[in-house]
Structure 1
Amino acid sequence: MAKGEHRATFKEIMDSLDPGSTHDVWLSVVNTGVIDGWAGGTWHLTGQELDVRVARRLAVSANLMALGRGGSTQLEDVPAEQRAAVWEKASRRYKGPGGKVEAPEWPEEPLYCAFKFVSEDGRNLLLVDESC
């Protein structure tokens, strides 16, 4: 920078930006710990990634099961009749505690981990997070 040349301040740079240049921020429900408005309730994360054995039990016993895509920013309901098939696929590539990852290498096939959420009325939701 030449002597006497004006160096823009942070405020000047920010003021010069087009307000339309902002980007949507998608927050993972795992990061926020809350799923609001899903299946008629608000759901709260109960802890960290589940051990594969706990996740396997919840795949059968949880009131609801959801598949999280895009870093769990997009949730997809897993109907009861599809739970076994979804869990079978996820369990073969489970990267959470106690899990194992079968070939092929990521990113050719997604990896999975699972989280438990509980609603205000006591229902359980198993979230199977699919990493791309």
Structure 2
Amino acid sequence: MPKKQKRAATFAEVVAALPPATEESGGSYVGTPVTARGFTDADGCYWRLARGPLDPRRAKRLAVDADMMSMGTHYDHRVEWCLPRFLPEAERPTAWLEARARFGAADLPVHEAYEFTADDGRVLLFIETHC
């Protein structure tokens, strides 16, 4: 008589046996802020996507008038996660010229501008880079 084969676990049983998920990071940057329609920065402020991609004229105004400007990402050690890189005021003009030159570019990288808002009324010009 053949030996009885051990029954394989079903997918549902495997998932049920997994330990509960834990949040090891304080940030909530999943994918890109644009696809997630928002993100929480390292200081705990939630930025919600307001509009975009923006017309270059609106983006140019925000490069000057927005409370914050972000271009690219950086690794934030406080939350151990990659988050949008907020630019110091002195870097904004140069970053704007670089971004403007890459709006609708035929080759990579391509930049697109988006407007995010915080609950306290602050506005963020977010330049997304597609590689």
Check whether TM > 0.5: yes
Q: Deviations over 1:90-109 (max 9, x none)?
A: 10110xxxxx427xx32xxx
Shift of residue 112 of structure 1?
0.3
> Structure 1, unaligned stretches of length 5 or more?
1-7, 20-25, 95-99
AA partner of residue 49 (structure 2): L
Q: Which runs of 4+ in 1 moved over 6 A?
A: 12-15
**CA 1:11–1:43 in 2, change beyond 3 Å: closer, same or farther?**
closer
2:97 maps to what in 1? 88
Equivalent of 2:66 in 62, 74, 77 = 62
Q: Which whole-Å CA distance do the structure 1 matches of 2:51 and 2:117 have between them?
A: 10
AA partner of residue 48 (structure 2): H
Q: Deviations over 1:52-110 (max 9, x none)?
A: 1111110010000011349xx6311111111110010110110xxxxx427xx32xxx1
1:97 maps to what in 2? none
Q: How many residues align?
A: 112
Q: Which whole-Å CA distance do the structure 2 matches of 1:127 and 1:116 have between them?
A: 6
1:76 maps to what in 2? 85
Does 1:52 find its partner at 2:61? no
Contact 2:41 2:83 in 1 (8 A): no
Does 1:37 find its partner at 2:41? yes
Q: Deviations over 1:2-35 (max 9, x none)?
A: xxxxxx96558879xxx9xxxxxx6211111122
**CA 1:58–1:46 in 2, change beyond 3 Å: closer, same or farther?**
same
Residue 129 of structure 2 aligns to a residue in which SS? strand
> Structure 2, unaligned stretches of length 5 or more?
1-8, 20-28, 75-81
Residue 105 of structure 2 aligns to a residue in which SS? coil
Does 1:101 find its partner at 2:105? yes
1:5 maps to what in 2? none
Percent of pairs identical after alignment? 33
